[in-house]
A and B are shown apart, each in its own frame.
Chain A
């Protein structure tokens, strides 16, 4: 539901990541890592991004979204496993004393500049 705000942040960060000496460059694609536990729906994000990026250096850029599984680690027995549903309990020993070690990512990994736009 808040994908528009996220899309605007992505546009800001991606635009600011274009090296000064390469401007004006066009961003062809943006690689994101989105955790499955984060409250972001990829399709909604793509739609918002498409609308909000009009007229910016990232207009038309493809969002490549790499989904990150939810992985937890048990503080009691030390084992780690991938969660496939909302059961936050250790699979091995049943302890609820666990920490989520991945799955909440919302990162911009890299941007890809269009060929030829390196040397305007």
Chain B
């Protein structure tokens, strides 16, 4: 006997994500989900971002890692509230799911935040699939990776709103074809804003920070 179900498998995740989104809306907190492959320089980027924005906005960060607290320790030095969530309780999960974020929110006073950054697990596949209640998704790519990452992981580049091309200080030492990388990004996601920068030297950081400021201001005025 056949029984019709017709239900999205990720419905339970979406329901929790929507609850978090409602909390963020109530408190006017702009939430950005930052994703990348491992080693793209995401933690350095966020360390610098938080340090540079510390005097003008109230920021917090949730750091996802399969295990270890190394990233959280680094980020705590920027002086903002950091909550580390490890996903290994379920066999080394490869992404942050909505319920993990919802649980971490208890550690923050959302009424005292303007910006919440969520550093997802380093992985270009699975995190693309999971809504965690964020306002925007950003993908970080670095010039030490292949130019064709966007076409190898199209879903990630489709679902993200902006891209950061990191480690551009290394360009003189590499055979990286920057134009090809930009073309691949736009092949998958036409018109996607790309912030080319070096988190290490802070060259190009201003445009990325400007985008974050703009989003925070917009969310606050809603």
Contacts and interface: CB of A to CB of B under 8 A. Distances in A.
Interface in A90-105: 95-98, 100, 104-105
The SS class assigned to the B binding surface is mixed
Interface string A10-34: 1011100111000000000000100
Contact of A9 (B9, B125, B128): B9
B174 interface: no
Interface stretch (B31-39, B53-61, B89-97, B108-116): B89-97
Interface centre among B13, B129, B189 (most CB of A within 10 A): B129
Contact of B154 (A4, A32, A86, A105): A86
B3 interface: yes
B23 interface: no
Across the A-B interface, the 8 shortest Cβ-Cβ residue pairs: A96-B190, A86-B154, A2-B126, A1-B94, A86-B151, A108-B5, A113-B1, A106-B9
Contacts of B188: 86, 88
Interface residues of A, number: 40
A77 interface: no
Nearest to A10: B9
A75 B191 CA distance: 14
20 contacts: A2-B95, A2-B125, A2-B130, A4-B90, A6-B10, A9-B10, A13-B5, A39-B128, A39-B155, A86-B151, A86-B188, A87-B187, A89-B187, A97-B190, A107-B8, A108-B5, A109-B5, A110-B3, A112-B3, A118-B1
A37 B7 contact: no
Contacts of A58: none
Contacts of B187: 86-89
A1 B158 contact: no
Contacts of A5: 90, 93, 97
Contact of A88 (B3, B90, B190): B190
